Amino acid sequence: MKTTPGIFRLSAQSKVVLAFTSVIALAGFVWPFFYVGNLHWIFVAAIAASALLLVSEVGIGSIDAKSIALLGVMSAFITLLRPLGAGAAGLEPIWFALIIAARVFGPSWGFLLGITSMTTSALLTGGVGPWLAYQVFAAGWIGLLAGSLPQKFAGKLIRGATEKVLLVVTGIFASFAFGILMDLQFWPWVMGSNTQLSYVPGGAISENLSRFITFHFASSMAWDIPRAILTSVLIVMTATPFLRALRRTYFRAAFLTPIEFKNVVQIKN
């Protein structure tokens, strides 16, 4: 039956592009463990190119007006939230909104929201630089993850307190994952070459990994923990009304509502 367009979903081709660009991005995060030499700028370029490729591929597909409108509004909302925390000490009040919105509107849309909100908010906070492409992918993945959380468990819809717990766990995981990814991306460059925590080009993976973990714990845990706490607190505080408002929007947007053209309308009473 004919219906109105549904919320945005990645086409099969877009999924292939997403997988491909994600592999490049992931390689961009972890290459220092495997390669001697400097690939930093190559990956900065490759990841930026991947992000562009992804956005254009997704744009070519049939994204409908309502999904675009929702994406625009939520990106603007997150963009306004970002300067409130400015990232100092990891206090970024944007993750809860990304996670909750992705939860309602699904993984494909959530992935796009991560990308668009991170890009637009970077313009507002002046955070445009080589790290932006990494941040964009990390945010996209978080949106994808939050959107992929199960809606049902044992045949029952996950709602209420259970859903809140699920979102808080996701928020904590995302806060730490984002911290680790961002550290990975600048750790090789930040410590100089002679400290206990420095990256050793060409060193054994286990050696570098333990140095990285030490570095991460020494430096950025101070950022990850506040980020996780803030995100959890905001999710606990806002999830109920926020989810309700977004689910109402989802309902009112009349996604996938049947359309019929007939000669005569018959009413069944």
Binding site for another protein (CB under 8 A): 3-4, 65-66, 244, 248, 254, 257-265, 267-269
Number of C-alpha atoms within 13 angstroms, CB side, residue 88? Answer: 4
Nearest CA among 221, 227, 131 for reference residue 185:
131
Q: How far is the CB of 257 from another protein (least distance, A)?
A: 3
Q: How far is the CB of 6 from another protein (least distance, A)?
A: 11
Cβ nearer to another protein, comparing 9 with 64: 64
Task: Give the type of residue at 64.
Answer: D
Q: Do 100 and 234 meet the contact criterion of CB atoms below 8 Å apart?
A: no
Cβ nearer to another protein, comparing 155 with 258: 258
Cβ nearer to another protein, comparing 46 with 64: 64
Q: How far is the CB of 233 from another protein (least distance, A)?
A: 21
Let me know the angle formed at the C-alpha of 195 by 128 and 133, rounded to the nearest 5 degrees: 20
Q: How far is the CB of 164 from another protein (least distance, A)?
A: 17
Q: How far is CA 261 from CA 1, 234, 252, 264, in A?
A: 11, 46, 21, 9
Cβ nearer to another protein, comparing 41 with 261: 261
Q: How far is the CB of 255 from another protein (least distance, A)?
A: 9
* Other CB atoms within 10 A of residue 127 CB: 15
Distance between CA atoms of residues 222 and 12, nearest Å: 40
Contacts of 161 (CB under 8 A, 6+ apart): none
Cβ nearer to another protein, comparing 65 with 154: 65
